[in-house]
């Protein structure tokens, strides 16, 4: 009887180990372009930016990977999102509270920042 109990215990132990190994393979590993979320309170308004940092890997980014003078879906992997908890003013322009996709037009000495209500579109914004 002890041999059967030992075999059963051994079999259950192996089954538990195999289940653990199969769950370990389902771990959500980070993307190469690391995810980040930052919230900062400015006055009474919370500003949250959710983004993925592009991995440079020795490449020329500005004027290379990201060409000057063209709309860039700022960040990597997904839209960069910015959220304002209250209505704000940016460069003298009113911007309603809410979530916006952040796009930019980089140039060597000046950048244009675009706040888009189209937060679900993965690709580049077309103006």
How far apart, in Å, do the first and last CA atoms of the chain sit?
78
Q: Is residue 100 part of a domain?
A: yes
Residues ≥6 apart with Cβ < 8 Å to 94? 87, 88
Q: Give the residue numbers spanning the domain of 40.
A: 30-116
Q: Is residue 124 part of a domain?
A: no
Q: Is residue 107 part of a domain?
A: yes
pTM of the model: 0.69
Which residue bears the tokens 């192996």? Answer: 14
Q: Is the dihedral of CA 95, 119, 126, 55 positive or negative?
A: positive
Q: Is residue 54 part of a domain?
A: yes
Number of domains the chain is built from: 1
Task: Answer whether residue 12 shows pLDDT above 70.
Answer: no
Residues 57-72: tens digit of each pLDDT? 888 888 888 899 999 8
Distance CA 47, CA 97 (A): 10
């Amino acid at each position: 009887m002890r041999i059967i109990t030992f075999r059963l215990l051994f079999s259950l132990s192996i089954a538990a180990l195999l289940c653990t190994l199969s769950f370990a393979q389902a771990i959500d590993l980070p993307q190469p372009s690391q995810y980040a979320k930052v919230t900062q309170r400015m006055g009474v308004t919370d500003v949250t930016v959710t983004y993925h940092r592009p991995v440079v890997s020795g490449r020329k980014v500005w004027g290379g990977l990201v060409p000057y003078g063209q709309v860039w879906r700022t960040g990597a992997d997904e839209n960069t999102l910015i959220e304002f908890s209250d209505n704000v003013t940016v460069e003298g322009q009113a911007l309603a509270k809410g979530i916006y996709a952040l796009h930019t037009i980089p140039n060597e000495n000046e950048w244009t920042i675009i706040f888009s209500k189209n937060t679900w579109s993965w690709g580049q914004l077309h103006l």
